[in-house]
Amino acid sequence: MNKKERYAYILDYFRQEMPEVQTELEFGSVFQLLVAVILSAQCTDKRINQVTPELFRRFPDAHAMAQADADEIFEYIRSVSYPNAKAAHLSQMARMLVERHHGEVPSDMRQLLDLPGVGRKTANVIQSVAFGKSTMAVDTHVFRVSHRLGLVAKKADTPYHVEKELVKNIPAEDIPRAHHWLLLHGRYVCTSRRPHCERCGLSGVCPSVCLSSTHGENSIQP
């Protein structure tokens, strides 16, 4: 199976299995999505969804959050990972939105990356989920699954390299969904330590399964 055939097979599988797919983060506006994505770094969506209801009741938009300092925001997010840094980023980010963008989240990549706490992955999520752009956010799940399924070369050793290779090979109309397909597959099936190959519909074309059957399950690489 060559690369073109591999992509076609895997994408067709996901189209059938998950025709309608979206982020598991809960939000009510583009601003709230941005806040949730910033908070989700190295933290589960489940934990973020437990924290954000109270946070959004207190700070429903950028104008409200811009009036708060990091210490006040910290009290609402103290149970997430790196709460001190994230509280500072949220406070600074909200103020910048108010000062530069009238409280609205911009759709431009460069303007998003200028915001405190926003890296390329977060910016790609916002562009895709909020604005429907064909951008591929690469988190640890997408990175791992892309390698295990043989969608990207071993030399694609950074999230940016994986992003570029995926975007090059996935049809533009599928890219927004493909991010969620790969992420959810990694979160629930192709998990990091113990992938559930026995219930994976892609095991028949997965090169990592072949490696596992030859050398043992622990040989599957992240």
Catalytic residue annotation: 121, 139
List Cα–Cα distances, 141 to 34, 81, 144, 182, 185, in angstroms: 20, 18, 5, 7, 8
| DSSP three-state, residue 192 | coil
List Cα–Cα distances, 174 to 12, 22, 84, in angstroms: 10, 13, 37
What angle, 0 to 180 degrees and rounded to 10, lies between the N-to-C axes of helices 159-169 and 140-148?
Answer: 60
- Which amino acid is present at 144? R
Cα–Cα distance measured from residue 100 to residue 62, given in angstroms and rounded to the nearest whole number: 12
Residue from 109, 40, 41, 99 nearest 65 by CA: 99
| DSSP three-state, residue 61 | coil
